[in-house]
Every structure is written in structure tokens, then in C-alpha cells.
């Protein structure tokens, strides 16, 4: 049977051309979809890196601000660094002279001999009656890292921190908090600002670019030398993974002006990388 007049099919060339055009259009449509998706995934990776770095820097900054004055020490460890400080849990001014109703010897801290108890001028954040923990010790007038760490270990020189095993207990007379030390202890120097601090131990951060992490260590014993690896018996927690670089600079400053710690960390993930810089003021008034 012959074909009807005016009717004709597609040629092979036309079919191939249509297929090619459809492929080109599909590829373009795919790019319109995948490009925003890829951009979104890149943004999410960057945001996760920034969040991780910011949280780590904020944690370090919180510990630095709580550090005992003049207890911060830093050292290089390979391509990274180690940072150590002594953590304070409270502090106040001590009473060193009579005033108002406070005229008894037990109200005043005596620096000329071993003393057992004295008042704070006002009240601590801690709530007495309270017996402080075995790791909690009292510090007056620390002026250098070498002093606090050596005295905390040796317990004899220069007489700025109560020895390990000294019992500390707080009571409240309604106006001022009163602290009792057993056995008695003689502090060697008075603080010009009458400042006293209660501490609970050292805290370390170790930045290890080769291991791609920054780790926080606490609950370990004082040592004269600064730890550059995980201290024995310490509790730990990694703050940063995916680390590719870090630097630290510490300027101790003066007692009047304090110091500055400058921290810089770089993180990377699947081609995305970020670098954050953070500065923390250090209060070193003893």
C-alpha cells in the first residue's frame, strides 16, 4: 500500500539532532541544580569549621580569664604549642587590719607568723559552711609562673600557696566570710591589693597540627616543668579536629596593664579551609 500524500516521518538525522539537543538541555538543567547544591554544601562545611574553631577559642579564652595571675606559661611543641595555667574557682580581698566590729586576731591575716584563720573583706561566691576539696588551695601574691608551680610542688618556697593536704573550711559570720587553714601556714608576702585566690589545679591545652587537634587536659598534678604531652592521670577532651595549623603568642605585660594572648588556628575539610585569630586579655594583678 502506498503512503498517503502529505505524510512523512522523521529522518534518522533529525532524531539524532533532537537527542543531542535534549542532552545538552538536560546537562544545562543539571548544572543549574548541582551548582547551588554544591555551593550550599561548601557553605555548610565552612560554617561547621568556623563553629568548631570559635567554640574552641572561646573555651580557651574562658580558662585564660579565670587563670591565677602570673600562672600562664607557653612553649613550642613541634609545629604546635602547649599552654598551661592554674585555674581559680574564687577570689576576694583578705582582711589585714582591724575595722568595725572585726578586732580579734582571728579576723586578721598575720604575715609575721603561721596563721590559722582570717576574714575576707566581704563574701566569696562559694557558699559556706563548706570544706574545700583536697585539690583546692589558697594563693596570695603570685608574681611569676616559676613561683606557683615550684611552690605547689615543693611546698616551701616562696610561700605563696598552702601546701597539699592543708584543710580549708569556710564559715559566714553574716558580714564577712571566714576561712580556717589546718595546719597553720605563713604566707611570705602581702598583696598590695590584699588579693587572695582559691585554686583547684592546673589546666593545659596542647595544639598538635600533625594529630590535627587541640586537646584540653585537667585534673592532673602540678609539675615544675610544663607538660608538652598528655599529663599522667589527666582527664582530657579534644576541642578541635581537622586542624592544619596553629600559633600562639603571649605577652605577659605588667601588673598594672596585664597581658595579651594571641591565638590563631586553621582548619580544613574537603577543600574548604578557614583561619581564625583571637586575642584574650590576661589579668596579671597579683
Calpha distance 233→80 (Å, rounded): 22
User: Is residue 12 over pLDDT 50?
Assistant: yes
Res. 43 pLDDT band, cuts 50 70 90 = confident
Q: Which three-class secondary structure string do you get for 103-117?
A: CCHHHCCCCCCCEEE
Statement: residue 171 has pLDDT above 90: yes
Given a cut of 50, whether residue 219 has pLDDT beyond it is yes
Bond prior to 245 in cis (omega within 30° of 0): no
238 - beta bridge partners? 215
Predicted local confidence at residue 258, as pLDDT: 81
Q: Residues of the chain with pLDDT > 70: what percent? A: 86
Q: What is the pLDDT of residue 78?
A: 93
The Cα–Cα gap between 198 and 94 comes to 12
Query: pLDDT tens digit string along 101-123?
Result: 999 999 999 999 999 999 999 89
Handedness of CA 74, 75, 79, 80 (dihedral sign): negative
**What pLDDT, on the 0 to 100 scale, is given for residue 44?**
74
What are the CA-CA distances from residue 251 to residues 205, 248, 257, 279, 281 (Å)? 17, 10, 11, 11, 10
pLDDT band at 25 (very low <50, low <70, confident <90, very high): low
Across residues 53-80, what is the average pLDDT?
95
DSSP percent split of the chain into helix, strand, coil, nearest 5: 25, 40, 35
What is the rounded distance in angstroms from the CA atom of residue 280 to the CA atom of residue 263?
8
For residue 19, pLDDT over 80 is answered with: no
Tens digits of residue pLDDT in 182-198: 999 999 999 999 999 99
Task: Give the pLDDT of residue 270.
Answer: 84
Task: Provide the mean pLDDT of the chain.
Answer: 89
What does the alpha-carbon distance between residue 87 and residue 202 come to, in Å, rounded to a whole number? 6
d(CA 137, CA 181): 10
Q: Residue 158: is the preceding peptide bond cis (ω within 30°)?
A: yes
Give the separation between CA 170 and CA 117, rounded to whole angstroms. Answer: 10
pLDDT at 51 over 80: yes
pLDDT tens sequence across 229-256: 999 989 888 888 899 999 999 998 876 6
pLDDT band at 14 (very low <50, low <70, confident <90, very high): low
What predicted TM-score, i.e. pTM, was given to this entire model? 0.85
Cβ burial of 280 (10 Å; 0-12, 13-18, 19+) is: buried
Q: How far apart are CA 67 and CA 261, in angstroms?
A: 12
Helix spans in the chain (H): 12-66, 145-154
Asked whether residue 9 carries a pLDDT value surpassing 50, the answer given is yes
Q: What is the pLDDT of residue 1?
A: 46
Reported as a single tens digit per residue, the pLDDT across 273-285 is 999 999 999 989 8
Q: What is the pLDDT of residue 272?
A: 86
What is the pLDDT, as a whole number, of residue 30? 61
C-alpha cell read off for 187: 604566707
Amino acid at each position: 500500500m502506498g503512503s498517503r500524500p502529505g505524510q512523512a516521518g522523521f529522518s534518522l538525522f533529525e532524531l539524532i539532532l533532537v537527542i543531542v539537543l535534549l542532552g545538552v538541555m538536560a546537562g544545562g538543567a543539571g548544572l543549574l541544580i548541582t551548582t547551588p547544591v554544591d555551593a550550599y554544601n561548601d557553605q555548610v562545611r565552612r560554617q561547621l569549621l568556623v563553629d568548631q574553631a570559635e567554640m574552641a577559642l572561646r573555651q580557651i579564652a574562658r580558662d585564660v580569664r579565670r587563670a591565677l595571675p602570673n600562672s600562664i606559661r607557653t612553649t613550642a611543641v613541634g609545629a604546635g604549642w602547649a599552654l598551661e595555667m592554674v585555674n581559680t574557682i574564687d577570689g576576694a580581698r583578705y582582711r589585714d587590719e582591724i575595722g568595725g566590729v572585726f578586732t580579734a586576731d582571728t579576723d586578721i591575716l598575720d604575715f609575721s607568723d603561721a596563721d590559722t584563720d582570717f576574714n575576707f573583706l566581704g563574701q566569696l561566691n562559694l557558699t559556706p559552711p563548706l570544706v574545700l576539696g583536697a585539690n583546692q588551695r589558697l594563693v596570695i601574691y603570685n608574681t611569676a609562673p616559676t613561683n606557683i608551680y615550684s611552690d605547689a610542688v615543693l611546698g616551701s618556697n616562696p610561700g605563696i600557696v598552702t601546701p597539699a593536704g592543708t584543710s580549708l573550711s569556710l564559715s559566714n559570720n553574716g558580714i564577712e566570710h571566714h576561712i580556717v587553714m589546718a595546719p597553720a601556714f605563713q604566707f611570705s608576702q602581702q598583696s598590695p591589693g590584699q588579693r587572695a585566690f582559691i585554686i583547684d589545679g592546673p589546666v593545659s591545652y596542647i595544639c598538635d597540627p600533625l594529630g590535627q587537634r587541640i586537646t584540653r587536659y585537667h585534673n592532673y598534678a602540678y609539675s615544675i616543668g610544663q607538660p608538652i604531652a598528655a599529663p599522667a592521670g589527666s582527664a582530657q577532651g579534644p576541642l578541635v579536629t581537622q586542624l592544619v595549623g596553629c600559633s600562639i603568642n603571649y605577652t605577659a605585660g605588667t601588673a598594672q596593664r596585664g597581658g595579651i594572648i594571641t591565638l590563631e588556628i586553621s582548619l580544613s575539610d574537603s577543600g574548604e579551609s578557614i583561619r581564625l585569630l583571637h586575642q584574650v586579655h590576661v589579668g596579671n594583678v597579683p
